[in-house]
């Protein structure tokens, strides 16, 4: 499902639908961009900026970008981003400039069908090794994005079903919360400034 329902204190339905639609379009574009380079990729981080503001700031990009809607978003990959030993810790150190409307992360993970999870070791490293070596392991690429107004969404593709792109506002809520924290104005940290 690629629709998002507004919650309490959310923008008006029209504003919400417009922001959600722009975010979903950007995430689908990112997933296709990342997917063209195949599987087994590291986590990749993207700044999301309003396309009209990007063209106004960089007129030379006008030939390469099309403003399809007033709130259309363009993604800018942060090529110096490295996941490090702990993705959450790495993300918690990031702080975006005010010109960034949102951010998105593409990450690949392996999982087991629910019936195969029984008996996994309690130790996270041992469990990861067991999942990686399990004959029923599935690989998933998920692209999660958040905007400063709180809009979030995710799209995902399972490696064994390459033609199916799934999505929803709750696809990876924990990751969305961590990404949202990078957009806080008073966020403290080492500061990644795209």
Q: Taking the domains of the chain in order of start, what are their residue ranges?
A: 13-181
Average pLDDT over residues 180-189: 72
Distance CA 23, CA 71 (A): 9
pLDDT tens digits, one per residue of 105-123 = 999 988 777 777 777 777 7
**H or E element that contains 126:** helix 124-133
Distance CA 28, CA 104 (A): 11
Print the SS3 string covering 25-55. Answer: HHHHHHHHHHHCCCCCCCCEEEEEEEHHHHH
pLDDT tens digits, one per residue of 22-47 = 999 999 999 999 999 999 999 999 99
Average pLDDT score, the chain: 82
Average pLDDT over residues 132-139: 81
**Res 146 pLDDT > 80:** yes
pTM here?
0.79
Average pLDDT over residues 81-88: 90
Average pLDDT over residues 133-141: 84
Using CA atoms, how far residue 96 sits from 5, 63, 103, 160, in Å, is 26, 26, 9, 35
How many residues appear in the chain? 194
């Amino acid at each position: 499902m690629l629709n998002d329902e507004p919650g309490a204190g959310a923008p008006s339905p029209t504003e919400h639908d417009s922001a959600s639609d722009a975010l979903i379009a950007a995430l689908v574009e990112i997933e296709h961009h990342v997917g063209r380079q195949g599987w087994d990729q590291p986590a990749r981080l993207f700044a999301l900026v309003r396309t009209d503001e990007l063209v106004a700031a960089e007129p030379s990009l006008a030939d390469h970008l099309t403003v399809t809607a007033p709130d259309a978003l363009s993604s800018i990959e942060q090529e110096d981003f490295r996941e490090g030993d702990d993705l959450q810790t790495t993300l918690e150190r990031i702080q975006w400039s005010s010109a960034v409307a949102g951010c998105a992360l593409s990450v690949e993970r392996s999982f087991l069908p629910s019936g195969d999870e029984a008996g996994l070791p309690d130790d996270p490293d041992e469990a990861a090794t067991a999942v990686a070596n399990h004959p029923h392991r599935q690989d998933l690429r998920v692209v999660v994005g958040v905007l400063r107004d709180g809009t979030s969404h995710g799209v995902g593709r399972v490696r064994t079903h390459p033609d199916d792109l799934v999505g929803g506002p709750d696809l990876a809520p924990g990751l969305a919360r961590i990404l949202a924290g990078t957009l806080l104005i008073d966020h403290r940290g080492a500061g990644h400034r795209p």
